[in-house]
Chain A
Amino acid sequence: MHSEHERLNDYRGELRKNLLISVLASILFSVLIIAFGGWANNIKYPILSTLIFFPIVGSILILFIKRQNEELIKIATLIISIVEFILSIPLYFSFDKTITKMQFTEEYLWIPRWGIKYALGVDGISVLFILLSSLLTILCVLVSWKEINKKIKEFYISLLLTHSAMIGVFMSLDIFLFYIFWEAMLIPMYLIVGVWGGPNRIYAAIKFFLYTFIGSLLMLIGIIVLYIYTGTSDILKLAEFSYPYKMQLWLFWAFLAAFAVKVPMWPVHTWLPDAHTEAPTAGSVILAGILIKMGAYGLLRFNLPMFPEATVAMKPLMLILSVIAIIYGALICLVQTDLKRLIAYSSVSHMGFVTLGIFALNHQGIQGGILQMINHGIVTGALFLCVGMVYQRTHTREIAKYGGLATVMPIYAALFMLFTLASIGLPGTNGFVGEFLILLGAFKSWKLMSILGATALVIGAAYMLWLYQKVFFENTGNYITEHITGYGDLNSREIVTLLPLVFAVLWIGFYPLPILSFMDLSVKELLNHFNSVIGAMR
């Protein structure tokens, strides 16, 4: 027993040392890069390409590390992800909030024969997702530290590649480039679920792949139609054309097919609970945090600006689908018996709020929708991290086996409480600001839908508090006592993993202004464009 304890202490000491080295090294490294490239208002290097390719280059380097050298692989990945995050910070500080143009743009002719370009650029909406993705990737590395025990090298490479592809989606200004990133991201994600997932991982991974792939194929057809019709593949230019109404409708549905699956909107949501439940923690976090946001982002980037008339025509249907997702997801949560599945279904409900806001088609709705996407990334990401941490100790996700965790893991209980509250949208947490804006926007747009959506305030509180009660309160079950005692409360690595998210929850809850003002102009521009097209039609 004694030696066991010593060994654990040794291990912890080593862990701390490693983490410290990684953090210091990465800060040093990124300072060098940024100093080389210029800081603040004069970024002299192609920052967006750097962000995309840095993890790719990094993962190539990892390829050369010996498979047995597991610690080094982890440290290298951690360094790469932290550097990536620090590199993305200038995006926030040098971004000019006063202009509506795309910023940090890069453009190279890629396939000259068809005029297809490698064009990147960001606006106030996409920057937020890039930052969130970089942050969550670090946390994913940290949480996988002990959870992933096989094919470690491949896992971390997949993680980095997923990140690259995802941020590529948010940066692309060329529709073909967009499609390539969109599909590229599927491959590492498919591997993460299918290789490192739970017992039923193969089914979940194939389901996830087929679902999204079928949606994407329809979008590809839409993209080709657009390209043939206009002769350009530039996303911004495509939005300036006006398309015949019939064509808009078809294209609207073609693109919606891809985006709705990703969001996921009701009724194409059933891949999500399976994928979430089977994926390793890091996979769930990425899925919930970033991947499903790409769907809603796509709606904002394609459906709304390119097919405004179709959007207006489809608005009632979309709002109804959103409200169904909100209530349906919440009701299903009430009767779940599996921790991860419950949180997965709550994602369906929360993403219903996002689409409700977007299709409210007014400023508050869209702004709230975007904020809610970020909030959902933070909160649901955090909840999945929390579940992953306790799963490592107990090896069960069955809610009935839990109970009384508040006594044995008080710090964990406190943090989980905070995320629970954010999830049910308590004022003072980020969830409130997003949901309030969405419901207000929806109320302006179609009162009944907002009223129905607001019922989730009650049902949401019911299922989350029920979950919390079952897991943390009442008496500690035998099962839990046996499994937790060896580990105890969260260790410092785990606390460090959750702290940034705690900070984000409270920050956005009490002072959301920096984020709201960040996307303000982009949303305004989107709506101006939208309204002018609709106005001209009438």
Chain B
Amino acid sequence: MEKVYLLIPIFPLIGFIINIIFGRFSKIKTINTIAVSSIFISFILSIFSVYEVFMGKTIEYNFYTWILSDDLKVSFGYLIDQLTAVMLIVVTTVSLLVHIYSIGYMHGDPGYARYFAYLNLFVFSMLMLIMGNNLLQLYFGWEAVGLCSYFLIGFWYKKKSASDAGKKAFIVNRIGDFGFALGIFLLFISVQTLNYFELFPKLLGLQGQTVNIIGLNIDLITLIAILLFCGAVGKSAQLPLHVWLPDAMEGPTPVSALIHAATMVTAGIFMVARLNPLFGLSETALAIVAFTGAITSFMAATIGLVQRDIKRIIAYSTISQLGYMFLACGLAAYGAGIFHLYTHAFFKALLFLCAGSVMHAMAGELDIYKMGGLRKYMPITYITFLIAAFAISGVPGLSGFFSKDEILWFAYSSPKGYGKILWLLGTITATLTAFYTFRILFVAFHGKFKGDTEVLHHLHESPKVMTYPLIILALLSLFAGYFSVSHFITPVVGEGVSALPHEEEKIVMAISIFAALLGIFLAFYMYVLKPQLTESLYMRFQKVYKILWNKYYFDELYNYLFVKPTLWISRIIVEKISDRKIIEGVVNGIPKLCYFAGGKVRNLQTGYLQHYAILMIIGVCIILFIILST
């Protein structure tokens, strides 16, 4: 029976293979039936596996040995425990809905088959990542989701911006993976295994060991954890490697929903939670995780305040929400982090799919200031977007509230000194979150339509195949929070620690509710009651606005700091000077030298007998001299 769960990742793989090879000759109907049904089967099987986990079982199974070399033995296998079960639910549910939605959204695209094939591959990769029972298999999935994001972000490859964005996503991820790979090496040579269950007990023995790096003694566990966290920073788009995610919206919108909610950026959180026995042993590493999360969360939210592109705003909100999750993990409240991952998946997928629905109606328009009054034309999209907005803002009763509140509580009550700072950052960010989300809502869905009349005539609600997934996701955003994930996965990740009595939780809760409502009210005040206020604020804070609008100039900075110098070094130093001048100079110089020397020596052969006679006499003299002198 255990082997049957192998089919969970296998089915999407089969779907991929069929569609990538035969998709070009198949009918549209066949293509999407294969793609959707393969995910549907995975979904059903996942439910079964979750049921078994609920019954208290942990399923581990080694399928076959992948790499075997000396002391390195790595298998393809899987491990389904509470943590994986939650991830399975998130991944299969969201991707199933995204697949169904895509049937409508991608209708008529020439790359239909290719699109669904990649989508299936994406799900396969993510399932391999979460189901693996060892770090190398996680790495396999880790890189594979990076690849799929490359394919899908650059899906419309004829657009330069799209193919650039895909490339950027892959390379930035690779930078994180560079650290991740080194982390795996270091971990492996310390414990000689990469299997989770064999690895965790051995970690305790590493405590106190240090590694010497350029004269500095660094705690071994801390170093491993930080290196692995580098990978998470890349994959989950945290500072300073967040730059790829906002560009990732170049792909089709359902793909953004998939990337942001289910199949990619959550991988970093999952990895940290999965390796909690490792991270738990290093206070320093945890602090780095927490602060990276908190700062990213705040900065991304501020950028989100001023953007005009609907998908870009949502993208920055993802970065910000992922920051929350890392904040929780960094406080060792992994349960709360995964809980937020789980609720976030639904409302974030919903936000993106709503945005897709709007774009569908508006012929691809992304600027919220060219929308307006959409609620009249697209009632279902409006209502579902509203629910998602409430959920992400943390309005009581909706899913986002439960998880966000839990994170803020653990921050506030943390025994660590910096807990309060994190809590403060988190609470401010909560207000910002509510503000920018409702900014979209008020600008795009309320007021008067501001776009072309041409577009206005075509405004319509999306077809059922697109609205039904919206409705289901809306229901999940409403009610998913009542399943306490953090409690469920306690056996795997342990309980979060709080140093304060539980009664104080009410105060924290009240403050965060207030923060959310404040954000919503501010947005309402600025964009509905007093729209002229925005203009005057803009005039007053032009400089700040410019920095935020340009996303703190990260892209420009990296371009001048890394990309250009590398290319310059390659072109001038390495190719022109070293390769062409120095090495080739020597290589071509030796024959030239021979030629040159030959030319000179040739001059001795003048053909005059006198010259030869003199040379002969000189030669004889030298020989005589040598003989006589010894």
Which residues of A are in contact with B by a Cβ distance under 8 Å?
207, 210-211, 267, 270-271, 328, 331-332, 334-335, 362-364, 367-368, 404, 406-407, 410, 414, 421, 426-428, 432-433, 436-437, 439-440, 443-444, 450-451, 454-455, 457-459, 461-462, 465-466, 469, 472-475, 510-513, 516-517, 520
Q: Select which of B67, B167, B566 is within 8 A of A512 by beta carbon.
A: B67
Q: Are A465 and B171 in contact (CB under 8 A)?
A: yes
- Among residues of B, the one whose C-beta sits closest to the C-beta of A421 is B147
Q: How far is the CB of A67 from chain B (nearest CB, A)?
A: 36
Q: How far is the CB of B515 from chain A (nearest CB, A)?
A: 40
A residues within 8 A CB of B186? 443
Q: Are A457 and B181 in contact (CB under 8 A)?
A: yes
B residues within 8 A CB of A473? 154, 157-158, 160, 163
Q: Are A428 and B140 in contact (CB under 8 A)?
A: yes
A residues within 8 A CB of B163? 469, 473-474
Asked, given contacts A267-B583, A439-B181, A454-B181, whether A364 binds B566 with beta carbons under 8 Å apart, the answer is no
A residues within 8 A CB of B500? none
A residues within 8 A CB of B567? 334-335
Q: Are B569 and A428 in contact (CB under 8 A)?
A: no
Q: With A364-B72, A443-B185, A474-B160 given, can you name 6 additional A-B contacts, CB distance below 8 Å?
A: A331-B574, A334-B566, A335-B570, A426-B144, A443-B186, A513-B66
Q: Are B157 and A472 in contact (CB under 8 A)?
A: yes
Q: Are B157 and A335 in contact (CB under 8 A)?
A: no
Q: How far is the CA of A459 from the CA of B175 in the complex (A)?
A: 9
Q: How far is the CA of A510 from the CA of B164 in the complex (A)?
A: 30
B residues within 8 A CB of A421? 147
B residues within 8 A CB of A461? 170-171, 174
Q: Are A439 and B69 in contact (CB under 8 A)?
A: no
Could you list some 15 contacts between A and B, CB below 8 A? Answer: A328-B578, A334-B566, A426-B143, A427-B136, A436-B181, A437-B72, A454-B181, A458-B178, A465-B170, A466-B167, A469-B167, A511-B64, A513-B65, A516-B69, A520-B69
Asked, given contacts A440-B72, A454-B181, A458-B174, whether A426 binds B575 with beta carbons under 8 Å apart, the answer is no
Asked, given contacts A334-B567, A473-B163, A516-B69, whether A427 binds B139 with beta carbons under 8 Å apart, the answer is yes
A residues within 8 A CB of B167? 465-466, 469
Q: Select which of B65, B154, B178 is within 8 A of A457 by beta carbon.
A: B178
Chain B residues numbered 139-155 whose CB sits less than 8 Å from any CB in chain A: 139-140, 143-144, 147, 150, 154
Q: Are B185 and A440 in contact (CB under 8 A)?
A: yes
Q: Does B275 contact A (CB under 8 A)?
A: no
Q: Does B547 contact A (CB under 8 A)?
A: no
B residues within 8 A CB of A211? 587
Which of B64, B72, B150, B591: most chain A CB closer than 10 A?
B72
Q: Does B177 contact A (CB under 8 A)?
A: yes
- Among residues of A, the one whose C-beta sits closest to the C-beta of B573 is A331
Q: How far is the CB of B313 from chain A (nearest CB, A)?
A: 28
Q: How far is the CA of A393 from the CA of B182 in the complex (A)?
A: 43
Q: Are A414 and B174 in contact (CB under 8 A)?
A: no
Q: Which 9 A-B pairs have the closest CB atoms?
A: A363-B70, A473-B157, A427-B140, A473-B163, A331-B570, A443-B185, A335-B571, A334-B570, A461-B174
Q: How far is the CB of A363 from chain B (nearest CB, A)?
A: 4
Q: How far is the CA of A410 from the CA of B114 in the complex (A)?
A: 11
- Among residues of B, the one whose C-beta sits closest to the C-beta of A469 is B163
Q: Does B68 contact A (CB under 8 A)?
A: yes
Asked, given contacts A368-B69, A458-B171, A461-B170, whether A427 binds B24 with beta carbons under 8 Å apart, the answer is no
B residues within 8 A CB of A436? 67, 136, 181
Q: Are B185 and A439 in contact (CB under 8 A)?
A: yes
B387-400 interface mask toward A, CB cutoff 8 Å, 1 = contact, 0 = none?
A: 00000000000000
- Among residues of A, the one whose C-beta sits closest to the C-beta of B21 is A414
Q: Are A513 and B68 in contact (CB under 8 A)?
A: yes
Q: How far is the CB of A125 from chain B (nearest CB, A)?
A: 14
B406-437 interface mask toward A, CB cutoff 8 Å, 1 = contact, 0 = none?
A: 00000000000000000000000000000000
- Among residues of A, the one whose C-beta sits closest to the C-beta of B580 is A270
Q: How far is the CA of A206 from the CA of B75 in the complex (A)?
A: 49
Q: How far is the CA of A472 from the CA of B162 in the complex (A)?
A: 13
A residues within 8 A CB of B140? 427-428
Q: Does B189 contact A (CB under 8 A)?
A: yes
Q: Does B20 contact A (CB under 8 A)?
A: yes
Q: Does B579 contact A (CB under 8 A)?
A: yes
Q: Does B200 contact A (CB under 8 A)?
A: no
Q: How far is the CA of A450 from the CA of B188 in the complex (A)?
A: 14
Which of B20, B69, B70: most chain A CB closer than 10 A?
B69
Number of chain B interface residues as a range: 35 or more
A residues within 8 A CB of B170? 461, 465
State the main secondary structure of chain B at its contact with A: helix
A residues within 8 A CB of B69? 363-364, 367-368, 437, 516, 520
Q: Does B584 contact A (CB under 8 A)?
A: yes
Q: How far is the CA of A362 from the CA of B20 in the complex (A)?
A: 41
Asked, given contacts A426-B144, A440-B72, A458-B175, whether A510 binds B574 with beta carbons under 8 Å apart, the answer is no
A residues within 8 A CB of B178? 454-455, 457-458
Q: How far is the CA of A108 from the CA of B139 in the complex (A)?
A: 52
B residues within 8 A CB of A427? 136, 139-140, 143-144
Q: How far is the CA of A462 from the CA of B168 in the complex (A)?
A: 9
Q: How far is the CB of A409 from chain B (nearest CB, A)?
A: 13
Q: Select which of A207, A432, A517, A520 is within 8 A of B587 by beta carbon.
A: A207
A residues within 8 A CB of B579? 270, 332
Q: How far is the CA of A360 from the CA of B174 in the complex (A)?
A: 24
Q: How far is the CB of A412 from chain B (nearest CB, A)?
A: 13
Q: How far is the CA of A474 from the CA of B166 in the complex (A)?
A: 12
Q: Are B72 and A428 in contact (CB under 8 A)?
A: no
Q: Are A444 and B139 in contact (CB under 8 A)?
A: no
Q: Select which of A270, A404, A457, A469 is within 8 A of B174 by beta carbon.
A: A457
Q: How far is the CA of A503 from the CA of B408 in the complex (A)?
A: 52
- Among residues of A, the one whose C-beta sits closest to the C-beta of B176 is A458
Q: Select which of A426, A451, A472 is within 8 A of B147 by beta carbon.
A: A426
A residues within 8 A CB of B175? 458
Q: How far is the CA of A462 from the CA of B170 in the complex (A)?
A: 9
Q: Are B20 and A414 in contact (CB under 8 A)?
A: yes
Q: How far is the CB of A469 from chain B (nearest CB, A)?
A: 5
Q: Are B570 and A332 in contact (CB under 8 A)?
A: yes
Q: How far is the CA of A461 from the CA of B159 in the complex (A)?
A: 21
Asked, given contacts A363-B70, A457-B181, A458-B178, whether A270 binds B158 with beta carbons under 8 Å apart, the answer is no
Q: How far is the CA of A469 from the CA of B157 in the complex (A)?
A: 8
Q: How far is the CA of A73 from the CA of B567 in the complex (A)?
A: 48
Q: Are B171 and A462 in contact (CB under 8 A)?
A: yes
Q: How far is the CA of A529 from the CA of B177 in the complex (A)?
A: 37
B576-604 interface mask toward A, CB cutoff 8 Å, 1 = contact, 0 = none?
A: 00110001100100010000000000000
Q: Are B182 and A454 in contact (CB under 8 A)?
A: yes
- Among residues of A, the one whose C-beta sits closest to the C-beta of B172 is A458
- Among residues of A, the one whose C-beta sits closest to the C-beta of B64 is A511
B residues within 8 A CB of A516? 67-69
Q: How far is the CA of A474 from the CA of B587 in the complex (A)?
A: 40
Q: How far is the CA of A436 from the CA of B591 in the complex (A)?
A: 41
Q: How far is the CA of A450 from the CA of B147 in the complex (A)?
A: 24
Q: How far is the CB of B579 from chain A (nearest CB, A)?
A: 6
A residues within 8 A CB of B147? 421, 426
A residues within 8 A CB of B20? 414
Q: How far is the CB of A332 from chain B (nearest CB, A)?
A: 5
A residues within 8 A CB of B570? 331-332, 334-335
B residues within 8 A CB of A513? 65-68
Q: How far is the CA of A513 from the CA of B75 in the complex (A)?
A: 11
Q: How far is the CB of A391 from chain B (nearest CB, A)?
A: 22
Q: How far is the CB of A390 from chain B (nearest CB, A)?
A: 17
Which of B140, B177, B181: most chain A CB closer than 10 A?
B181
Q: How far is the CA of A344 from the CA of B68 in the complex (A)?
A: 31
- Among residues of A, the one whose C-beta sits closest to the C-beta of B114 is A410
Q: How far is the CA of A404 from the CA of B76 in the complex (A)?
A: 37
Q: Are B188 and A440 in contact (CB under 8 A)?
A: yes
- Among residues of B, the one whose C-beta sits closest to the C-beta of A444 is B189
- Among residues of A, the one whose C-beta sits closest to the C-beta of B574 is A331
Q: Are B189 and A443 in contact (CB under 8 A)?
A: yes
